[in-house]
Every structure is written in C-alpha cells, then in structure tokens.
Amino acid sequence: MTRVAINDTNNFKKIMKAQKINSLTLKKKLTRSSDAHKGEFGHVLVIGGNIGFGGAGLLASRASVNCGAGLVSLATRSSHVSASLNFCPEVMVKPVDSGQALEKYLDSPSVICLGPGLGQDFWSEQMIYKSLEAAKKNNVPMLIDADGLNLLPKFIKKLPLPKKIVLTPHVGEASILLNTSKEKIKKNRVMSAKRISKKYSAVVVLKGENSIICWKDKYFICEKGNAGMATGGMGDVLSGIISSFIAQKMTLLDAACLGVELHAEAADEYSEAIGINSLTPTDVLDIIKELI
C-alpha cells in the first residue's frame, strides 16, 4: 500500500489509486547495444546559472552527464565557464550573456532544461523567452524548474508552450503556477499536481515528501527519499537527471518517474550509510551512477 504523507490524509482514498513506480522495468529502457554511439543518446542543453547562482547550472549539467546523455551543453553566464570546465569537463559550456547569444545553441539539443539558477532579471527573461520560442518551433521537449517556473505564468501570455513539457515545482512554485496559496497546495497535493498538469498540459513533478509525478489524471507517488534532501541544489540535480532520460528517448512520464525514484534512492543510500544531516547534491551525483 502506498505510504501517505501527513498533509494528504484527507485525500487517502485518492492516494490509494496512485500507481507505483517500477524502476527496474524503467531502467531496462536505457539498455545500450554494443555498437552504440553518443548520437543515439541525445543532447541535453541546460540553460541557467545566473550571476550568483552558477552552481545550479553546474549541478544540473553534471547530473545529465552522470545519467547517460550522449552530449550535454550548459548555456550560462560567461563568468561561470571556468568553474564548469573544472567541475565537469565533459559538459560543453557556452558563455551566454544575452538572448541573442543563446539563439545559436537552440537548434541542436534534443531536450532543453531551463531554470537551474536562472534568477529573475532581464537576462532570465531573455533565456525563457528564447527557449520557449525555440522548443515550440522545433518540437523539442523542455523541462522547466526553479525560477523558470516562477516566470512561466508571465510568459504563457506571450508565447504558446511546447507540446512536450515537464514542470518540477516545489510547493512554493506550485502556488505560483496555480495562483493560489501554499496552504491550499499542501492540503491537497494530488489535486494540485493534477490541476497544474491540465492547466499547462505538462508532466508534473510536485516535489516534497512522497513526491507526486502526474500526467493529467494519471499519477505516481515516490515512497523513497528523506529529510536530508531539503538542501539547496537537490532540485537542480533532479532536473538534470530527468532531462538526461528524456534525451535517451524515454517518454516524459517514464523519465520523470525514473528520475524521481533514482534521485530519492541515491539520497537514501547515502543517509543509511552516513546520516541525513550531511547529505549534499554532489553526494547524490556520485551515487546515482551506481544505480542506473
């Protein structure tokens, strides 16, 4: 029986209908042939890392590398290029300080991951506008996280959303997407995830205890994870993981389910061995390679 979060007690009957994530079955979809080449496993473009938030883009892009994407690029502020090369040389880091500079990188990816460390200023708005425009035009899947979610309601009034989209809000970001209070989201997380999914025609990951993965009326609940995951950068790692699986031709829903499950499982493995208080996103990055 699916474990129920305290704040979902009033929705117990609905929670009971949740489907369980079968990570073993999903991981089989990542099987590679002996003559495989990098072009078969997609190209993730992470867009983020505004001034003062450079680490978020680095974490997301390295997560995509660690989870098997064929190619990973990071479009970030030019001041973060050296840090990215030191942190993960496998990532093709691009100095992008304007929307015009971003344009030349938007035709090559097979999935766009927007939001880690994006911030909310003029640069951020250029990044989201150009990304949404390109994803719609090229029919490229797009994952939106963090400040990308905070800016999204403003931009859907200007641009149509891509057909293939994943949104990964926590409670605060979910309240902005639905223009409601955090308290209402907490009282009915399942219904809130469904509402976001239908409003934006997106696969939704509502993060928190018993994270919910939802596509319209179909939803899954992750029973793994622990309080040690409540630290900055953990969501950026999750964004990179899911984007990597999308690049490897998993469906958006399958990629979200497997990403959430393995992300939480890696956190649990660390916590069981070391404890929850010292868990960091980098620890998850190191462990998740062993789980795929």
pLDDT digits (tens, 9 = 90+) for 179-195: 999 999 999 999 999 99
Residue 158 pLDDT greater than 50, yes or no: yes
Q: Give the pLDDT confidence of 206-239 residue by residue, as tens digits.
A: 999 999 999 999 999 999 999 999 999 999 999 9
Give the confidence band of 17 by pLDDT, cuts at 50, 70, 90. confident
Residue 69 pLDDT greater than 80, yes or no: yes
Residue 29: CB atoms within 10 A of its CB come to 14
Give the confidence band of 157 by pLDDT, cuts at 50, 70, 90. confident
Q: In terms of DSSP H, where are the helices of the chain? A: 12-16, 23-27, 54-66, 81-87, 99-103, 122-138, 147-155, 171-178, 182-187, 189-200, 234-247, 252-273, 281-288
Look-up of token digits 């994270």:
211
Q: Which domain holds residue 216?
A: 40-288
Provide the mean pLDDT of the chain: 94
Q: Is residue 14 part of a domain?
A: no
- In this prediction, residue 5 carries a pLDDT of 47
Residue 13 pLDDT greater than 90, yes or no: no
Q: Is residue 22 part of a domain?
A: no
- In this prediction, residue 3 carries a pLDDT of 43
- In this prediction, residue 1 carries a pLDDT of 33
Q: Is residue 234 part of a domain?
A: yes
Q: Is residue 45 part of a domain?
A: yes
Q: Is residue 269 part of a domain?
A: yes
CATH number at residue 174: 3.40.1190.20
Q: Is residue 27 part of a domain?
A: no
Please indicate, yes or no, whether the overall pTM of this predicted structure exceeds 0.85. yes
Q: Is residue 9 part of a domain?
A: no
Q: Is residue 23 part of a domain?
A: no
Domains in the chain: how many in total? 1
